Structure 1
């Protein structure tokens, strides 16, 4: 597992993949992560639990879509100079289908959310949607990868291409001059590191040390379908929280929490909502 964190540098180039149609970038992300993991960890048995399969890409009429995805994957894999050979369309289909593992409590399994939060909004300090301008319609999204060992999370990597390097918890952090794009990595028992997507050296980050609720800020989901804003507001009022909520969707919020942007995270999904992968990464980052 000591070699696993080598994979994190490739998430930097992966961020450049996300300017095409949503379905294409999700397939492309899953293929890229699969290629990277299998290339960097060739001596280990490989098990990947992910969201997508290649069924729709193998249908008649999908040739142009598959060709675009293959081109995007090749551009991403070769962008940092570590991969010089190009992959074929069949290679891409096989890589996507490598995510069909059932996982389980025995052995090691990678768990991937290839792109989380593509329909979310940028972080705001109020309910009016006033925040930073983003890279992709202003949305916050993340590529989330965790490693399970005998059923327990031991490693997490979270790429957040639209998350500012500066805290989103303050009142003056929505400047257009803020550098955006963060990569978080964590191993259980060793804390969390954050680095820019330009490949600069990582720094150690820490959760908020605030203990007085009156001084704390809290996070909640932007999309009302993911949370209950009225209930969150009522709880915050009873706790004495004075700051308005920071509303942000996707697992990018977990990265922001891990570096202390907020002290409280309130999540009250509506009846019928089922969490697939998101909470798993919290074990590593927080």
Structure 2
């Protein structure tokens, strides 16, 4: 997507393990740790720590004002991840389109966006619905797009049926309309969902890592975010189950403003692990990571 936003733009995240002696100095000066991080209270995080996965009523009791939205967001990206996994495993090479900028777009891009938007509209009833997403239906309305539109329609309906959460079936015109639900331009007021239906398209196409990334903006502030990572091994996340995670694959990350962040298995199996960070005064003890 055009922009990326973080729930904690200045937060410093490090491992909860004992800090090792640094092997080398950082080759450039680093900014000081913000005072609000050094002295931040953890009471808000503790109050939200026990929130269950999709049960909004119990989560509300923990003090999370966005509990219902968080539950709906988790459900939406989990549903989209099921479709993406099917496409990646079975037909990812047969449903490739090209955007105007020549970057790859797959059936899963459209299907993921449809399912996230549809699920949110079904489960979040507060105020008008606004979704800022990547795709529109223009390419699918052109001559020659009938086959890919049929593939999307079939995959969306099969995913909804297999999941069992909703008793609904889309027509092709309904699919086109659902895609265009993501054409909102957002704005500084009101609530707006922001979606990247497949963050990491090239990784997705080669059978590697990708994420379904969803956030909620409320009056211009990012208040909630979820990441579904279908191919991420749980063993790569430090001690998520309190022991070895074996070869289990699929992680769901979530965070709400004032309530911290959590990670859990994408299939919904317990437990949910709180993602902690250590407040430090000396940045030389940080471990630096680069992505590629």
TM-score by length of 2: 0.63
Separation of aligned partners in 1, 2:70 and 2:156: 21
Which residue of structure 2 lines up, in the alignment, with residue 39 of structure 1? 122
Whose Rg is larger? Answer: 2
Instruction: Tell me, yes or no, if structure 1 residue 219 matches structure 2 residue 289.
Output: yes
- Ranges in structure 1 where 5+ consecutive residues have no aligned partner: 121-134, 223-286
Which residue of structure 1 lines up, in the alignment, with residue 108 of structure 2? 25
For 2:177, which of 83, 94, 97 is the aligned residue? 94
Determine which structure has greater relative contact order: mean sequence separation of CA pairs < 8 Å that are 6+ residues apart, divided by chain length: 2
What is the total number of aligned residue pairs between the two structures?
204
Separation of aligned partners in 2, 1:42 and 1:77: 20
The answer to which of 52-61 and 87-96 deviates more is 87-96
Is the contact between residue 115 and residue 144 of structure 1 (CA under 8 Å) also seen in structure 2?
Answer: yes
For 1:74, which of 157, 173, 176 is the aligned residue? 157
Is the contact between residue 79 and residue 116 of structure 2 (CA under 8 Å) also seen in structure 1?
Answer: no
Q: 1:163 to 1:210 in 2, by over 3 A?
A: farther
For 1:165, which of 216, 225, 234 is the aligned residue? 234
Q: 1:2 to 1:203 in 2, by over 3 A?
A: closer
Which residue of structure 2 lines up, in the alignment, with residue 209 of structure 1? 278
Q: 1:168 to 1:201 in 2, by over 3 A?
A: closer
TM-score by length of 1: 0.65
- Ranges in structure 2 where 5+ consecutive residues have no aligned partner: 1-65, 96-104
Which residue of structure 1 lines up, in the alignment, with residue 254 of structure 2? 185
CA offset digits 1:155-179 (Å, max 9, x no partner) = 1111011111123579xxxx99521
Is the contact between residue 131 and residue 193 of structure 2 (CA under 8 Å) also seen in structure 1?
Answer: yes
Q: 1:201 to 1:176 in 2, by over 3 A?
A: closer
